[in-house]
Structures are given as structure tokens and as C-alpha cells.
A and B are shown apart, each in its own frame.
Chain A
Amino acid sequence: MIAEIGLAVLWMAAALALLQLFAGISALRPGGKVLAGVVRPLAVMQGALVAVSFLALIDLFLETDLSVKLVAANSHSMKPFIFKLAGTWGNHEGSMLLWVTIMAVSGGIVALVEKRLREDTLIATLAGQAFVSLGFYAFLLLSSNPFERLPEPAPDGMGLNPLLQDIGLAFHPPTLYVGYVGLSVAFSFAIGALVTRDVGPAFARAMRPWVLGAWIFLTIGITAGSYWAYYTLGWGGWWFWDPVENASLMPWLAATALLHSVSVLASRNALRAWTVMLGVIAFSMSMVGTFLVRSGILTSVHAFAVDPERGSFILALLAIYIGGALALFGIRASTVTEGERFSPVSREASLVFNNVMLCGILGIVLLGTLYPLLTEAFGAKVSVGPPYFNPVSAIFAIPMMMVMTVGPLLRWRKDNPGRITATVAVPALLAALALLAVVVFAPGIRLLPMLGIAVGIALAVASWFPLRGRNLRRTPINVWGMVISHFGIAVALLGAASESAFSTERLAAMNVGDVQSVGPIELKLLSIEPVAGPNWTALEATVSASYKGGEPVTLHPQARTFSSPPGERTESALHTRWNGQLYAVLGNEGEDGRWQMRFWWKPFVPLLWLGGLLVAFGGLLALLGRVAKDIKRLRVFDKLAYRKSRLEQLK
């Protein structure tokens, strides 16, 4: 019964979206004002209905209703509660329903709270949102129905991939999805403003919290995903330039550029066309990412050809939305004026430079990800990996980070280069000193980590300069946000550079009682014992580790064997110190009865994820600062309007 309710409600929501689109379109035509009032309520109702449908699916998973095909294929009665819950979105159909749910609920929230934007622009935005949702409703209902029943209930479920049975990964996809879909709101705003020719600061202010919010979630999602890969894959790698990772990085790059450009538009009324264009690109990248991940095209073009229905569907959606938006942009771009001018030495110019660099990285990542697919069409099977992505993205990233040290110190519109020479000299000097120190103390270091450390140190210091000469208590909270985010980028860069330059590895076959060392750490294998969890059994090693002869700590790396579905996974053990992380893995038993152990000492590697979290935290501060300001401004407007009406009454 629950499944039928879920499906019925989903159809109703799709119908409301259709209604919302038509009401929106007719409200924008001359003489269609009557319908203007229904668009907002429709958006809210649509959001509520989809939420009910998603709750129904969660309920089916929690109860493990095995008469539903999706549950039988992806869940198992023995699975822990949290993974039953996460199983709801740990599969194709469920994740698409989650996508539509977040999209419709955000549309509902826009309809409820957005009061600053011109009413016709808002209606066009909601109509745009409905138009985008409709494609995904069609996709869900016609080719990936999550509520499909089985003719006969299955005896038990197939279970969830053991790699995914991890608390970090349970919340990783929804985090990224909130980010992806938040960008759909930005996209709809861009479309709405293009339709009503209303690209200006008010539009930018309405769009900004959504871009910021989406960007925060993407940042957290990518950081968490990287940490998950680091500790579950068991080899200490944290970024593989895997197409799935690139699929989340591309929207982040576009959103970062959009975030900065939308701020310029909101406060300086410049970069109008550029902001709209980035709004279109950012959501396009979300859809390209979803297409890459969901169509199966990644493993091979041939996997795509085996089940082309879903892939073709998403490809068609991509073509309609991206093509449509670009066409609209092409038609209307001439009516969107550039906005305020600025000189080559100004804060706007530094932001434009970095936007262009971000788009450059985006272009490289997109091309590198798609290139093997393109060559496969010509019959050549090739790989594009870190040896390409690392240096080529650095071509853009290093100049960008150098400009980042200076940009926030420049004045808007036009600045005198002489004014900031002294301020620029400090980070430049620091970078030079760092470079020298690295060359002296770590000879033979590769070029990229060396540059990374130099630029990272310069940026880590320079990112605090915007606070200079300010009363720290009165500094707007969004300025703090910017400072912390930029500092976070420097911290993450230092972590990454240090990991790639200074990691040491020790692979060893050990008997119980043997001693080994990795970097400054001495290790002793104390015992190997079997342990059991709710749906797995494991061998657990007990290893004691002592840093430079200090007090030893014990670590417990495991090799887990899952029963439903069968699978294996290493559970690495980590020991974090202020200056790095020890990473221990228990491998197989060798032929001679010794255990294959793997150890890494990775200096300062935790900075990588700490930096990611700092970036997200800075974003959160900026969002809070902006929202607080907006609320204040609304109150002032309300008061003014109230006084005005009182005055008119008195007259």
C-alpha cells in the first residue's frame, strides 16, 4: 500500500509541476495576470507531495518490504538500521527520487520566502524550475520507477555493496545532491532573469544564498568523499581523478566561479552576462556529472550500449536543458548589458581573472574525463590520469592562487598598483623563502609539491590581510567567511603538497612479534585475532606504534569479509598526530604464514581535509552574514512601507 501511495503522490506532483509551468507561462503573457497568484502555491504543494513520496520510499526500506523490486535488489533484512536508511538513496532509482525531492522542496522554499525579486522574474524562475523538474519526473516515472512491485515477494534482499556500508558514505550522496540541486535553483533564477530581462543586483541577491548553500554542500561532499576513499580503499590515495570524482569536482569549480561573480553583480552591478552564463554552466555540470555517473557510460561506451535507455534519456534531458538555456542566452545576451566598468587593476579584475582560471581547470577536467570516451569512438582505448590532470590543472591553479593573495586587498573599480606594493611584497617574499627552504631541506622534491608548498604558505599568510586595520568585532561576518575560506584553500593545498612530497611507505611481511618502521615510527605486530560485526566477520591485527621512541599507541586494522552480499573490504587504522598521520592496513596471509602489512607515514596529510572543512565553514559564515543582512534590510523596507502607508492614510 505504501508503495502505491508513493507512486500516486509522485504522479500528482508531476502533474502539479506541469500546471506550474503552464500557469507561469500564461502569467507572463499580457492579460494573464489572473494566473500569477497560483504559481507560488503550486510550487509549495509540489514540494510537499514529492517529500511524501520520498518518505514513502524511506519507509519501504526501513521495513525491508521485499515485494518492492528496488528494496529486494538493494536491501537486506539483516542490515543495520542506518544502512537501511542510506540504502534508500544508495541506488539509481532512489537517488533520482532524492534528486527530484530536493529540487521540488527547494522550489517550494523559493516560492515561500523570496520577496525581493520582481514578481514576474520570480514567476519565470518557478516556471523554469518546473520545466527542469518535469524532465526528471518523466525520467523517474517512465524509466526508473522506484516503487515497482515484484510479482512474488523475494525471500530476502540482495544487500548493499560492502564498500558503501560505511557511515561516511551513507551521507555522502545526499550531501552532493543538495549541492547539485541547489545549483538548479541558481539555473532557474538565471533563466527567469533572462526571460524578464531583469539581470541586476536584485536578481544576484536572490540567487546568492542558493549558490552559497549549494557550494557549501558540494565542498563538504567532496571533502568527505575524498576522506572516504582515503581510509576505505586501503592504499592511502585520496584523489584519483576518477570520472565519478571529476563529476563532483566540475560543478564545484563552476559554483566557485559563480559564487564570486554573483557577489560582484550583487554589490557592484558588474559582470551581468558572465554571471548568467556561469549559472547555466554550473547546473549543466551537475547534469553532466549525473549523466556520467548514472548512465554507466563511465566503465565503457559498451556498458552504455547494453542498457542505453536510461543513458539516452539523461542525454536527451542534457541536450534539452543545456541547449535550451544556451539558446535563450544567445537570444537575450545582447539585451543584457555588461554592467559597470572596471579597470585592469581592481578587485573586479582579479575576480574575473580567477573566474577564467577556474573555467580553464573546469575545461581541462571535462575534456580529460570525456577524452577516453571520444577516442573509444575512434577505436583507441586510452587512459587519462594524474600524470595529465595534475600538471595541467596546476598551470591554471598556481597563477590563480597567486592572484588570490592580492585580489581581496584591491579596491573596487580602480586601484593604484603602488598602494598595495608593500602588502604584496610580504607574501611574495614568504613564498620565495619557503621555496628556498624546501629546496635546501628537501632536495629532490618534485616541482609540483614544491610550488604547492611555496604558494600555500604565501596564501595562508596573505589570506588574513583583509582583516588588517579593521575593528575585528565590527568586521562583517561575511568578510570573516571569505578570509577563512581562502585560508582553508591554502591549508588544503599544503596538506596535499606535503602528502605527495613527504609520504613514506613500508610494505612488510610480518610474524606476530615482528618489528618494522615507517618514517619516524616504529611498529610492532602484537596479535591477529578474529572478530565479528552485525553482518561481517574480520581478522583484526593489533599493532603498537611509537613515534621516535615515545609512548606507544595501539592500532587495529581489520580485513573484513561481508556475508550479504559477499565481499571483502580492508578497514585501515589511522593514528593522527599534530604533524601527520600513520596509516596501517592488514593484508592477506602470505604462503610462508607471515601477514602482509602495509604502513604509511603521511606528514601533515590531515590538513587536506581540515582545509576542505575550513573552506565550507567560511562559506557557512558568509551565508549567515548575507542572510542576516538581507533580513535586516527587509525589516527596514517593511518599516518604510508601513510609515508610507500611515502617511498616506493621514493625508
Chain B
Amino acid sequence: MSLLIKRIALAVLVLFAAPLAAQDLLPPAPYAYKQLEDPAQEAKAQALMETLRCLKCQSQAISDSDAPMAGDMRHQVRTRIKAGEDPEAIRTWLIERYGDYVSYAPQNKPIMWPLFAAPLVILLLAGILLRGRFRKAAKSEKAE
């Protein structure tokens, strides 16, 4: 009896969930929620997925998201890795398809150069600041 009630409740829940699932009728993506059989390949895929942005979410990588589109992209990445493609080639392919926005790893393009230069500039400034500070200190100490 109680099993029957549970089954009915389950069925009702699934009914409620059905329209939500139907919103995104993407082609089936078996590798969205399935790992590659070869652990080395899976590790490669995982490392790449962690640096690809889920385009439908706010600030999440595709490896961190339940969005159907992220699942679809995971499937793409895993299938291509399985076929022996190079991770960076897959990234380039995704960038061609979705734009630079899809990659969390900054690309080597003039618009990103200031970002790469920033740590160097900050280190340089810090160096000048610290040096100036201690040179003054050393001088005043000698004067004493």
C-alpha cells in the first residue's frame, strides 16, 4: 500500500518536472553526466572544462553547472577529447563558435595585454616603493 502511494507521488512529481525538462530539447548528450572511460583522458577533459564558461549561468564553469547548455558543452568536450583532439584545439574551436567570452583563460590578443602586464607593473611599483622607503631609512640612519 505504502509502496503504491510512493509510486503515485513519484509519478506526480515527475509530471510536474516534465514541462521543465521539455524546455530544452537538445540532442541527447550522453557525456554530459558521464565520465570518459580512460582516466587520463577524463583528467584532460576536466582540466579543460574548468576553464570554459557556462554561457547561460553567472560566473560558473561548464564543469560546475546543471544548465542544459553546459551539459551539452561537456558532452562536446568529452567526445572530442575521446577522439584524440588536443584540449587547446577544442578551446579554439569553441572560441570560434561562441567568442572569447567562453574561455576563462585569457587569450593572447592585444586587448588582453594590459591584463598580462598588470602583475609586472604592480611588482615594479612595489619594488620602487619598497626601495625608496628603505633607502630613505638607511640614509637617515647614517645621518644619525
Q: Do A and B bind each other?
A: yes
Chain B residues positioned under 8 Å from A241 (CB to CB) = 59
Asked if A240 and B101 make an inter-chain contact with CB atoms under 8 angstroms apart, the answer reads no
Chain B residues positioned under 8 Å from A237 (CB to CB) = 60-61, 64
Chain B residues positioned under 8 Å from A507 (CB to CB) = 33-35
For A529, the closest partner residue in chain B by CB is: B6
Asked if A383 and B53 make an inter-chain contact with CB atoms under 8 angstroms apart, the answer reads yes
Q: With A240-B64, A344-B137, A561-B13 given, name 15 new contacts (CB 8 A).
A: A233-B64, A234-B66, A235-B66, A241-B59, A341-B141, A356-B126, A360-B122, A383-B102, A383-B104, A385-B51, A387-B105, A388-B115, A537-B13, A537-B16, A539-B13
**A234–B134 Cα gap in the complex (Å)?**
50
Asked if B101 and A381 make an inter-chain contact with CB atoms under 8 angstroms apart, the answer reads yes
Asked if B115 and A588 make an inter-chain contact with CB atoms under 8 angstroms apart, the answer reads no
Stretch with Cβ within 8 A of B (4 or more), from A19-27, A213-221, A260-268, A362-370: A362-370
Given A388-B105, A568-B20: A382 and B100 interface contact (C-beta under 8 Å): yes
Chain A residues positioned under 8 Å from B137 (CB to CB) = 341-344
Given A237-B64, A242-B59, A507-B33: A384 and B16 interface contact (C-beta under 8 Å): no
For A590, the closest partner residue in chain B by CB is: B33
Given A343-B141, A588-B21, A589-B14: A364 and B119 interface contact (C-beta under 8 Å): yes
- Which residues of chain B from 90 to 117 have any CB-CB distance to chain A below 8 Å in the complex? 99-107, 111-112, 115
Q: B22 an interface residue at 8 Å Cβ cutoff?
A: no
Interface core residue of B17, B59, B100, B123 (most chain A CB under 10 Å): B59
Q: B129 an interface residue at 8 Å Cβ cutoff?
A: yes
Q: B28 an interface residue at 8 Å Cβ cutoff?
A: yes
Asked if A360 and B123 make an inter-chain contact with CB atoms under 8 angstroms apart, the answer reads yes
For B50, the closest partner residue in chain A by CB is: A386
- Which residues of chain A from 497 to 514 have any CB-CB distance to chain B below 8 Å in the complex? 505-509
Q: A395 an interface residue at 8 Å Cβ cutoff?
A: yes
Chain B residues positioned under 8 Å from A539 (CB to CB) = 10, 13
For B107, the closest partner residue in chain A by CB is: A382
Q: A228 an interface residue at 8 Å Cβ cutoff?
A: no
Given A344-B137, A368-B115, A529-B6: A360 and B126 interface contact (C-beta under 8 Å): yes
Asked if B104 and A386 make an inter-chain contact with CB atoms under 8 angstroms apart, the answer reads yes
Chain A residues positioned under 8 Å from B63 (CB to CB) = 235
Chain B residues positioned under 8 Å from A433 (CB to CB) = none
Asked if A385 and B64 make an inter-chain contact with CB atoms under 8 angstroms apart, the answer reads no
Quick one: CB contact mask for A62-96 with B, threshold 8 Å, 1 for yes? Answer: 00000000000000000000000000000000000
For B121, the closest partner residue in chain A by CB is: A363
Asked if A561 and B16 make an inter-chain contact with CB atoms under 8 angstroms apart, the answer reads yes
What would be 23 A-B contacts, judged by CB atoms less than 8 Å apart?
Answer: A233-B60, A240-B60, A240-B61, A241-B59, A343-B137, A344-B138, A363-B118, A381-B101, A383-B53, A383-B101, A383-B104, A385-B59, A385-B61, A387-B51, A387-B105, A388-B104, A392-B118, A395-B123, A506-B35, A529-B10, A561-B13, A561-B16, A561-B17
Asked if A383 and B34 make an inter-chain contact with CB atoms under 8 angstroms apart, the answer reads no
**A184–B113 Cα gap in the complex (Å)?**
35
- Which residues of chain A from 363 to 409 have any CB-CB distance to chain B below 8 Å in the complex? 363-364, 367-368, 371, 375, 378, 380-388, 392, 395-396
For A375, the closest partner residue in chain B by CB is: B111
Interface of A is mostly: mixed
- Which residues of chain B from 37 to 58 have any CB-CB distance to chain A below 8 Å in the complex? 46, 50-51, 53, 58
Min distance, Cβ B58 to any Cβ of chain A, angstroms: 7
Q: A587 an interface residue at 8 Å Cβ cutoff?
A: yes
Quick one: CB contact mask for A514-533 with B, threshold 8 Å, 1 for yes? Answer: 00000000000000111000
Chain B residues positioned under 8 Å from A588 (CB to CB) = 21
Q: B65 an interface residue at 8 Å Cβ cutoff?
A: yes
Chain A residues positioned under 8 Å from B140 (CB to CB) = 341
Chain A residues positioned under 8 Å from B6 (CB to CB) = 529-530
Asked if B65 and A235 make an inter-chain contact with CB atoms under 8 angstroms apart, the answer reads yes
Q: A648 an interface residue at 8 Å Cβ cutoff?
A: no
Min distance, Cβ A592 to any Cβ of chain B, angstroms: 10
Asked if B119 and A356 make an inter-chain contact with CB atoms under 8 angstroms apart, the answer reads no
Given A360-B123, A530-B6: A380 and B100 interface contact (C-beta under 8 Å): yes
Min distance, Cβ A417 to any Cβ of chain B, angstroms: 14
For B134, the closest partner residue in chain A by CB is: A344
Min distance, Cβ A242 to any Cβ of chain B, angstroms: 4
Quick one: CB contact mask for A561-602 with B, threshold 8 Å, 1 for yes? Answer: 100000010100000000000000001111100001010000
**A367–B112 Cα gap in the complex (Å)?**
12
**A68–B142 Cα gap in the complex (Å)?**
71
Q: A452 an interface residue at 8 Å Cβ cutoff?
A: no
**A631–B126 Cα gap in the complex (Å)?**
38
Asked if B100 and A387 make an inter-chain contact with CB atoms under 8 angstroms apart, the answer reads no
